[in-house]
A and B are shown apart, each in its own frame.
Chain A
Amino acid sequence: MSGEIIRLRDVWVYLGGIPVLEGVDLSVSRGDFLAVIGPNGGGKTTLLKVILGLLEPRGGEVRVFGKKPCESRGLIGYLPQQRSFNPSFPISVFDVVLMGRYRGLFKKYSGEDREAVIESLEAVGMLSLRDREIGSLSGGELQRVFLARAIVRDPDLLLLDEPMSGIDPDLQRSFYELLQELNKRMAIVLVTHDIAAVSTYVDTIACLNRRLFYHGPTEGGLGRLEDAYKCPIEILAHGTPHRVLREHDQ
């Protein structure tokens, strides 16, 4: 009980009358590194938004750090899915990360906040680009800066939405090693449609396609996975859809 930080019980979410999450149960404890995989439109982003309290479920219970999600946001770091953002926005890398230290109305950023920004930029290897305009970064650099913004408040829980999008395959390894390092300090939940890169680094995997199929610890590579985690997922890798895991009975 004391170690449990996320608890979802029978959570139902509808978007525009269409069910996106159906009776989802989920439990995440301190120190966990959970990967939620599933097809596009399977509800992965929705699940993160429920944990963040950005979406109110129609049914079921959500507790984060034992409280309502919106009351626990101070303990959560969030890396949103990369989407089109205004590339001409006049702001430096440093100031983007500094926003992650926001503490409330009329509270100015302190020297301590600025040090935290430098530390987290250093952690993601982006300190040398601190003065660059945000619109001039590559996809991978941007992803690292947004990760720095997510960890700059030293959260106890880190939520990552498709963290590997925009990152070159050969850089993904070092990105995962960075996440593993962070995992010593905080629980991590990442959602992705890319199972291949996930399996060797995370502790547990869950499959999400409106319903959540929660599976035990990962041991071994994809071969074991196919054996153990039978759930219906279509995986898009390198632009080619192919079925990796067998059809789930349910």
Chain B
Amino acid sequence: MMELLHYEFMRNALIAAILVSIACGIVGTYVVIKRIVSISGGISHAAFGGVGLGYLLAVNPILTAIPFTILSALAIGIISKRTRGGEDSAIGIIWAGGMALGILFIDLRRGYTPPDLFSYLFGSILAVPTTDLVVMLALDAAIIATVALFEREFTAISFDEEFSTIIGVPTRRLYLLLLTLIALSVVVLIRVVGIILIIALLTIPATISIQYTDHIRRVIFFSTLIGIITTIIGLCLSYIFDLASGASIVIVLITALIVSTLLKPDPRATTRTILRL
């Protein structure tokens, strides 16, 4: 196994696993406790528009995905709060709209077959280029810094938005900032698990951890750890059996979730997990 580390793609895959786990450990925790899983699903699918834009402009799709996904996240946040009961619809609109734009963008470059389109959709941890690792590292740094600065506010709005407004938290802005962080973590995750499966990494590690601790920081720590372990197992399965990495990681995660739920016979936690899936 150790000699595998001589290959650049293997080293990159390991680094990618760690970078991905940091993003999903931190942001996934807030996604789960604030119960914005569906919104996060919408944001991650909308990211496909950003990938398509990259192909159209002939630049690295990861770079165009950043602004595109942030704008999609803000659009969901703004539309859902402006229209009454419109959150569901906002998610659907942005989800489908983003993907449709992505397909049109790729169509617009006639006669061009995008090289690794499949890896953006389904993930390919064994093919993460070093340039993308640098982008992922920068986004992770941004996520860590933001949460370090606004930890109290994120906790308050996740627990009770109305009360946090009353105690003086700029609730609307912090909510949009949280959606922006989800957008950033989506971009970090695209290469490894793919657009279609991102939501699993944003949801499952935190859902497992939350059963075992009652403190947000510890949920973040355990989620990151679970992310690293399961991603590396998924990476090994993907390498040994030549399987799609995203799907392998998700199946490992779900197995871990089932095992952890069985090990902790807390009825409340069990129903919670089942309902969320």
Chain A contact residues, CB within 8 Å of chain B: 16, 52, 54, 73-74, 76, 78, 80, 85-92, 95-96, 99-100, 102-106, 108-109, 133-135, 149, 153
Task: Provide the B80-101 mask, 1 if CB < 8 A to any CB of A, else 0.
Answer: 0000100000000000000000
- CA separation between A76 and B169, bound complex, in Å? 15
CB <8 Å contact, A109 and B214? no
B35 interface residue, CB < 8 Å from A? Answer: yes
Q: Known contacts A73-B167, A90-B215, A91-B215; is A106 also within 8 Å of B268 by CB?
A: no
> Within B157-186, which residues are at the interface with A (CB < 8 Å)?
158-160, 162-170
B252 interface residue, CB < 8 Å from A? Answer: no
**Chain B residues in 8 Å Cβ range of A80:** 160, 162-163
- CA separation between A104 and B150, bound complex, in Å? 10
Partner of B168, one of A90, A95, A104, A134: A104
- 21 A-B contacts (beta carbon < 8 Å): A54-B166, A73-B167, A76-B166, A80-B162, A85-B160, A86-B33, A88-B33, A88-B210, A89-B159, A90-B33, A91-B214, A92-B215, A95-B155, A99-B163, A104-B168, A105-B150, A108-B152, A109-B152, A133-B214, A134-B214, A149-B163
B74 interface residue, CB < 8 Å from A? Answer: no
B156 interface residue, CB < 8 Å from A? Answer: yes
**Chain A residues in 8 Å Cβ range of B152:** 99, 102, 108-109
Q: Known contacts A99-B156, A135-B268; is A90 also within 8 Å of B213 by CB?
A: yes
Closest-by-CB residue of B relative to A79 is B163
Closest chain A CB from B171 CB (angstroms): 11
**Chain A residues in 8 Å Cβ range of B168:** 73-74, 102-104
Partner of A91, one of B84, B155, B164: B155
- CA separation between A153 and B219, bound complex, in Å? 28
Task: Provide the B196-231 mask, 1 if CB < 8 A to any CB of A, else 0.
Answer: 000000000000001001111011000000000000
B149 interface residue, CB < 8 Å from A? Answer: yes
Closest chain A CB from B166 CB (angstroms): 5
**Chain A residues in 8 Å Cβ range of B150:** 105
Count of A-B contacts judged by CB separation below 8 Å: 74
B269 interface residue, CB < 8 Å from A? Answer: yes
Q: Known contacts A54-B162, A86-B35; is A105 also within 8 Å of B170 by CB?
A: yes
- CA separation between A108 and B152, bound complex, in Å? 8
B153 interface residue, CB < 8 Å from A? Answer: yes
**Chain B residues in 8 Å Cβ range of A95:** 155, 215
Count contacts on B: residues with CB < 8 A to the other chain.
Answer: 31
**Chain B residues in 8 Å Cβ range of A108:** 152
**Chain A residues in 8 Å Cβ range of B155:** 91, 95, 99
Q: Known contacts A88-B269, A89-B159, A135-B268; is A78 also within 8 Å of B210 by CB?
A: no
Q: Known contacts A73-B168, A102-B156, A102-B168; is A90 also within 8 Å of B163 by CB?
A: no
Q: A54-B166, A88-B268 are in contact. List 8 more A-B contacts (CB 8 A).
A: A74-B168, A80-B162, A90-B33, A99-B156, A102-B168, A105-B150, A105-B153, A149-B163
Closest chain A CB from B52 CB (angstroms): 36
Q: By DSSP majority rule, is chain B's interface helix, strand, loop, or mixed?
A: helix
Closest chain A CB from B74 CB (angstroms): 20
**Chain B residues in 8 Å Cβ range of A134:** 214
Closest chain A CB from B215 CB (angstroms): 6
B272 interface residue, CB < 8 Å from A? Answer: yes
**Chain B residues in 8 Å Cβ range of A78:** 163, 166
- CA separation between A202 and B169, bound complex, in Å? 32
- CA separation between A103 and B33, bound complex, in Å? 23
- CA separation between A84 and B156, bound complex, in Å? 16
CB <8 Å contact, B216 and A90? yes
Closest-by-CB residue of B relative to A16 is B84
Interface centre among A54, A103, A104, A133 (most CB of B within 10 A): A104
Q: Known contacts A90-B210, A91-B216; is A96 also within 8 Å of B165 by CB?
A: no
**Chain B residues in 8 Å Cβ range of A54:** 162, 165-166
Closest chain B CB from A99 CB (angstroms): 5
- CA separation between A1 and B157, bound complex, in Å? 36
- CA separation between A202 and B35, bound complex, in Å? 39
**Chain B residues in 8 Å Cβ range of A109:** 152
Partner of A87, one of B166, B170, B268: B268
**Chain B residues in 8 Å Cβ range of A105:** 150, 153, 170
- CA separation between A224 and B271, bound complex, in Å? 51
Closest chain A CB from B170 CB (angstroms): 7
